[in-house]
């Protein structure tokens, strides 16, 4: 079984990561794969702005903690 994956892609280059995620979901449907597309101007470097960057980092950390089954 594959570990949980968080896959990110930029809005203008979303085709390849989307195909990869679809293939992963078909081959091992029991392994969680979360696909996140960056829509903003900083799509290749992450969100711009202090609060947007903090929200992005919080999502990544929440995914990691959930994948490790850490609740508190």
Residue 72 lies in a domain: no
- Among 57, 60, 40, 43, which residue's Cα sits nearest to residue 9? 43
Determine the structural domain holding residue 17 and report its residue range.
5-67
Residue 9 lies in a domain: yes
Domain count, the chain: 1
- The residue count of the chain comes to 72
Per-residue pLDDT of the chain (72 residues; tens, 9 = 90+): 889 999 988 777 788 889 999 999 999 999 999 998 877 665 555 666 788 888 888 988 999 999 898 877
Name the DSSP letter for residue 10. Answer: E
Question: What pLDDT score was predicted for residue 4?
Answer: 92
Question: What pLDDT score was predicted for residue 42?
Answer: 55
Question: What pLDDT score was predicted for residue 26?
Answer: 94
DSSP 33-54: EEEEEE-STTTTT---SHHHHH
- Among 11, 16, 19, which residue's Cα sits nearest to residue 44? 11
Question: What pLDDT score was predicted for residue 25?
Answer: 94
Sign of the torsion angle spanned by Cα atoms 41, 42, 43, 47: negative
């Amino acid at each position: 079984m594959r570990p949980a994956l968080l896959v990110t892609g930029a809005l203008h280059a979303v085709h390849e990561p989307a195909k990869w995620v679809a293939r992963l979901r078909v081959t091992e449907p029991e392994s969680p794969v979360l696909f996140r597309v960056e829509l903003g101007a900083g799509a290749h470097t992450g969100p711009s702005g202090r609060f947007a960057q903090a929200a992005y980092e919080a999502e990544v950390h929440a995914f990691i903690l959930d994948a490790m089954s850490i609740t508190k």
